[in-house]
Structure 1
Amino acid sequence: MKIAAIQMLSGPRLDDNLAAAGRLLAQAAAQGCELAVLPEYFCLLGRAETDKLAVREQPGAGPVQDFLADQARRHGLWLVGGTLPLAGADPGHVRNTCIAWSPAGEPVARYDKIHLFRFDNGRERFDEARTIEPGAAPVAFDLAARDGRRWRVGLSVCYDLRFPELYRRLDADLLLVPSAFTHGTGQAHWEPLLRARAIENLAYVAAPAQGGLHENGRRTWGHSLVVDPWGVVLAQREDEGEGLVVAALDGERLAQVRRQLPALEHRVL
């Protein structure tokens, strides 16, 4: 199964971001991809953290959800829509939500980011809890590939990557990590963490990311990539800016790795 991890450089204008995402999804479909995954905050990286409140949507209704459903149908893709802001219980907060869509344009899974990023190195300060309320439950779904193979796909978002217990709970063949890693933390930890999650779960990992200097002054690391179950980087974007990382997942390779090192069967905790 061929997949695309889509790297973007999203900004503060919703329509511009959707147009960029649409262009990249068309490229993924043209290359024969069955699954395409957008990065975290693909639809908006505002000038202020509170900007996301103005574009939040109710579950099941809104221009961003309509766009994702239409793109999945139009291109016949399984599509995981990075994240978008959905209304939560508190009017001053949103859920940072990842929704998976079938090629028929039907939503098949929803995951609300559980772990909220907080960082302060004296120069950069982030605290997602100011505008985001966390989810509580791990989420995975079954994807039927064109060759008849079923893939168990686990959903996660960005900062979740630092919490390996979440990935154990997902029990997946393919782990998705749409992200917007800061440049500093990404430079230090992005690839080692992604390869670790692949190795310890004997699973493929696909991580589409925001990458570059955004209009709001934030710089994200990019380097979107796909890793195989042995920890081998199959494909990676080496520069900033938008683009595709395309890789083929091999079900036999997954089975072979799990046979030769049956670590998942050896768990006792």
Structure 2
Amino acid sequence: MQSYLGALTTYNMGKELKVALVQSSLVWENPDKNRTNFKKQIAEISKDTDLVILPEMFTSGFTMHPENMAKDQGNITLLWMQQVAREHHMAIVGSAVYYENGTYTNRLLFVTPDGDCSYYDKRHTFTLAGENLVYAAGKNKLILHYKGFKICPLICYDLRFPVWSRNVEEYDMLIYVANWPKQRIVAWDTLLKARAIENMAYVIGVNRIGLDNNGHEYCGHSAVYDLLGQPLVFSDREEVLYASLTREHITKVRKELKFLDDRDGFTLEG
């Protein structure tokens, strides 16, 4: 696996990327049941889909007690994603609890149909829930290429921090996988649109639905926004959403509106 800035999984250039957003409920701290449920849902996804996007911590829900699950569950999930991606000829991305070298992380895994995997550890751990006390924060942004599109995948709370999401790499799309609760869903809706507009990129947000064991309710609002902040798909119920992202739209908007050329220059430290 690779996790550094500029990490690339290279495929032939494409004019269109077809994505499927799986907005689903989750079984609390039960990776086996969640993997079984998602395998069934993925099997029913349109066969011409290029990329399947699952929620944050899709095998467990947003648990602050990873010790309640076997330490090898992260690696088991990775192997499962590789198997499913190969079987259906689709890339799969989502985050899961991952244990490695004595440390837990909230790790996003991006697996291609040939089994290659890149990963990103959540940079902004959610202090309100004590995530920072349980999971180590990541340090590196991940940028990858898939089927001719340059992608920056991030996780939930990262959405609130525009500097970290800032498009200094000329990426084509941001992906946010999340467990974002209903009581703050207005922020989710607003910030997804803002990230699309300010970065002149497609933005995809995939949230879960249902109740977790902490009593938090999730109402979905998974969505795709184009470079101008226009919603392409949106849902507040359990379902799979589909969207087609085109190279033509990216090229046209950025050529006509050269807003990225006027970005302030700075570097991140720490």
TM-score range, shorter chain: 0.7 to 0.9
Once the two structures are TM-superposed, the CA of residue 45 in structure 1 deviates from its matched residue by 1.9
Does structure 1 retain, via aligned residues, the 8 Å contact 2:55–2:178? yes
- Match for residue 266 of structure 1 among 235, 253, 262: 262
Does structure 1 retain, via aligned residues, the 8 Å contact 2:53–2:92? yes
Once the two structures are TM-superposed, the CA of residue 171 in structure 1 deviates from its matched residue by 3.3
Once the two structures are TM-superposed, the CA of residue 217 in structure 1 deviates from its matched residue by 2.5
1:51 lines up with 2:66 in the alignment = yes
1:251 lines up with 2:247 in the alignment = yes
Residue matched to 1:21? 38
Residue matched to 1:63? 76
SS of 1:205's equivalent in the other structure is strand
CA distance in 2, matches of 1:153, 1:161: 15
1:235 lines up with 2:244 in the alignment = no
Q: How many residues align?
A: 247
| Aligned alpha-carbon RMSD (Å) | 1.8
Over 3 Å counting, the alpha-carbon distance change for 1:53 and 1:264 in structure 2 is farther
SS of 2:207's equivalent in the other structure is coil
SS of 1:178's equivalent in the other structure is strand
Residue matched to 2:91? 78
**1:1-269, aligned counterparts within 5 Å?**
1-12=17-28, 13-30=30-47, 32-45=48-61, 49-51=64-66, 54-57=69-72, 62-80=75-93, 82-89=94-101, 91=102, 93-107=103-117, 109-119=118-128, 126-144=129-147, 150-168=148-166, 169-186=168-185, 188-239=186-237, 242-269=238-265
SS of 2:188's equivalent in the other structure is helix
Q: Which amino acid aligns with 1:63?
A: I
Over 3 Å counting, the alpha-carbon distance change for 1:170 and 1:9 in structure 2 is farther
Does structure 2 retain, via aligned residues, the 8 Å contact 1:174–1:206? yes
- Which shifted more, 12-21 or 164-173? 164-173
Once the two structures are TM-superposed, the CA of residue 162 in structure 1 deviates from its matched residue by 0.6
Does structure 2 retain, via aligned residues, the 8 Å contact 1:99–1:110? yes
Over 3 Å counting, the alpha-carbon distance change for 1:96 and 1:63 in structure 2 is same
TM-score, normalised by the number of residues in structure 1: 0.86
Does structure 2 retain, via aligned residues, the 8 Å contact 1:11–1:216? no
Once the two structures are TM-superposed, the CA of residue 51 in structure 1 deviates from its matched residue by 3.4
What is the percent sequence identity of the aligned residues?
28
CA distance in 2, matches of 1:128, 1:170: 28
Once the two structures are TM-superposed, the CA of residue 265 in structure 1 deviates from its matched residue by 1.2
Once the two structures are TM-superposed, the CA of residue 170 in structure 1 deviates from its matched residue by 4.8
Q: Which amino acid aligns with 1:103?
A: P
CA distance in 1, matches of 2:126, 2:170: 24
Does structure 2 retain, via aligned residues, the 8 Å contact 1:154–1:171? no
CA distance in 2, matches of 1:194, 1:159: 12
Q: Which amino acid aligns with 1:85?
A: V
- Which shifted more, 93-102 or 135-144? 93-102
SS of 1:40's equivalent in the other structure is coil
Once the two structures are TM-superposed, the CA of residue 35 in structure 1 deviates from its matched residue by 0.7
SS of 1:200's equivalent in the other structure is helix
Over 3 Å counting, the alpha-carbon distance change for 1:104 and 1:29 in structure 2 is farther
Once the two structures are TM-superposed, the CA of residue 214 in structure 1 deviates from its matched residue by 2.8
Once the two structures are TM-superposed, the CA of residue 62 in structure 1 deviates from its matched residue by 2.6
Once the two structures are TM-superposed, the CA of residue 84 in structure 1 deviates from its matched residue by 1.1
Q: Which amino acid aligns with 1:117?
A: F
Does structure 2 retain, via aligned residues, the 8 Å contact 1:55–1:85? no
- Which shifted more, 64-73 or 4-13? 4-13
